[in-house]
Structure 1
Amino acid sequence: MFNPQWLTSFATLAEIGSFTDSAERLGITQAAVSQHIRHLELQLGPLLLRSKRPLELTPAGRALLDYCQQVDRAQRHLALRLSDDDVTCGEVSLISPGSIGLRLYPLLLALQKHYPDLSVRHRFAPDSEVMDAVLHNRYEMGLVTQKPDDKRLVAEKFAEEPLELVIPAGASVHRWEDLEALGYIDHPDGQAMATRLLSRRFPGNPGVRNLPQRGFSNQIGLILEPVARGLGFAVLPRFARLAFARPAEIAVATDNVELVDTIWLIHRAEWPLSARAQQALRWLKNSMYNS
């Protein structure tokens, strides 16, 4: 049986790759982290290649990291089971893409206000990070835009979200030339989203890369700021547009062509969602289109 603090120090070091940063995250000294690793290496042999930057695990180190993750999963599973009787207290953890997260996080806070002993933990992340976080039990629930085929995950349809062509209030878009005149506001998923939607709206168009780019933001809550100021257009999922603080300053260019994405709820297949998580999901589904 290994000292739990030694294992925590090792797992943190394996994730971060730096003794200094690991010590800062753990709230202990760098010397303490080094001592914990030395204790483990006395029993297991070399765990790290210290000459590499970032640090590289030896085969023994990878085996120990797998063990740490198994212990962590077991502890989280036990905590969920032991605390599942009372849905009014404990943690609700959700990781999701930015757009739907903007819609759901305020609703989760409303649930927490109703049950003050709940603790809401939410993170914005792309699909790949969402799946990894759920698989490794860092979050109980996740939302993704692409249905995973990993048998360790259960995927259920949670919501639908159209992509929208968002333009400044008072502007109009009927032809590709109108988009060229406005210019494009990009974001990390912008090229892919714009290509998918605009290829349907304007078949045979030259492509979004040929449009004048008027700006870029990696903060989903700020992407529509330049649009509201008349500096260009953007293509975003609907919930991102609904979360914008000044809706009167933007508009949606509509026609008969729609592109609707499915949002999938994922969780581990080996055990059911906690009663708290199930309650939170019912709350979200009842609230997200009615508030």
Structure 2
Amino acid sequence: MLNPQWLRSFAAVAELGGFTRAANQLGLTQAAVSQHVQHLEAELGPLLIRRGRQLELMPSGVALLAYCGEIEQAHKRLQLQLADTTFDSGEVSLVTPGSVGLALYPLLLDLQQAHPGLVIRHRFAPDPETLAAVLDKRYELGLVTLRPDDARLAAEPFAEEPLELVVPAGEEVDGWSDLERLGFIDHPDGRAMATRLLSRHFAGSPGVSALPLRGFSNQISLILAPVARGLGFTVIPRHAREAFADQHAIRVIECATPVVDTLWLVHRAQWPLSSRATWVLKQIRERLMSKDALARP
């Protein structure tokens, strides 16, 4: 590794065309600058041709001056990264559950479109994968449905997400027998979600396992497709229901005792969030809250 001070002295000599001018600019003695260049030439070979008071760079000197420029640019980039003063450029990485992810992703793209310097990296994942991605430093931010018990992670409430009982449009649900008639469209979290919601709304019911199974999908954006075709009902988070394209083909049944999940924002506890991550979180939280407020009856 070449001594940075030697490189600074050489670059000043090459750019200013003399040892005296370089010494004055750097606040060093001429002897010190000359010694720095001699050290470099001892390692790299001749760099300058001295013709009286005029200097000419040899090919090796031209290459070294270009190298000095690359180091200076790299130093400036590092200072900008460490200063972290820009909010609208750089990468923002976020892992979320599929449901809220369907609502957030268009908002993230809106921000990227308005601020082309932003790079959005988003992934759908269940809680265990999200926690692993944040802990392994592959993603800066994550949203999970259960607050983690890990001292390495900071967690704070981000948003609330109610569970909804969704049936085909035109259907009525007055009792458990209506659900038996419709049948259940399952998904990876379907039985757990349905149990939590239906056990409150239909106290004393036999439980979800007693319902006829009419279908299954592991794609969050496709779960409501069979419901829209009249093939059954399901229980799904509100954000996933709101993202479904054909809202006229489905109906939400109001439940007397709602089940509302808290989504938790997680990141590495010992690391401060980047300024762009802080700014993006503020933007999407405000837009998501506004969107939810408009959706309420």
TM-score between the two structures when normalised by the length of structure 2: 0.70
Q: Which residue is equivalent to 2:100? A: 100
Report the number of matched residues: 214
Deviation at 1:117, TM superposition (A): 1.4
Give the residue type in structure 1 aligned to 2:255: D
Q: Which residue is equivalent to 1:187? A: 187
Say whether the 8 Å CA contact 1:163–1:235 is kept in structure 2. yes
Structure 2 residue 111 is the aligned partner of structure 1 residue 118: no
Identity of aligned residues (%): 62
Query: Following the alignment from structure 2 to structure 1, what is the Cα–Cα distance between the partners of residues 289 and 278?
Result: 18
Say whether the 8 Å CA contact 1:83–1:90 is kept in structure 2. no
Runs of 4+ in structure 1 over 4 Å off: 78-81
Q: Spell out the pairing of 1:1-291 with structure 2 (5 A cutoff).
A: 81-82=81-82, 84-291=84-291
Q: Which residue is equivalent to 1:53? A: none
Determine which structure has more spread, i.e. the larger CA radius of gyration: 2
Deviation at 1:82, TM superposition (A): 3.0
Deviation at 1:248, TM superposition (A): 1.0
Larger displacement relative to structure 2 (121-130 or 246-255):
246-255
Give the residue type in structure 2 aligned to 1:156: E
Distance 1:79 1:265, change over 3 A: farther
**Uncovered stretches (5+) of structure 1, i.e. residues with no partner:** 1-77
Deviation at 1:177, TM superposition (A): 0.3
Deviation at 1:133, TM superposition (A): 0.5
User: SS of 1:220's equivalent?
Assistant: coil
Distance 1:204 1:141, change over 3 A: same
Give the residue type in structure 2 aligned to 1:179: L
User: SS of 1:122's equivalent?
Assistant: strand
TM-score between the two structures when normalised by the length of structure 1: 0.71
Deviation at 1:89, TM superposition (A): 1.1
Query: Following the alignment from structure 2 to structure 1, what is the Cα–Cα distance between the partners of residues 219 and 269?
Result: 32
**Uncovered stretches (5+) of structure 2, i.e. residues with no partner:** 1-77, 292-297
1:229-264 CA-partner distances (Å, limit 9, x unpaired) = 111001000000000001111110113210000000
Query: Following the alignment from structure 1 to structure 2, what is the Cα–Cα distance between the partners of residues 79 and 261?
Result: 41
Q: Give me the CA root mean square deviation.
A: 1.5
Deviation at 1:81, TM superposition (A): 4.5
Give the residue type in structure 2 aligned to 1:247: Q
Distance 1:182 1:146, change over 3 A: same
Query: Following the alignment from structure 1 to structure 2, what is the Cα–Cα distance between the partners of residues 260 and 118?
Result: 33
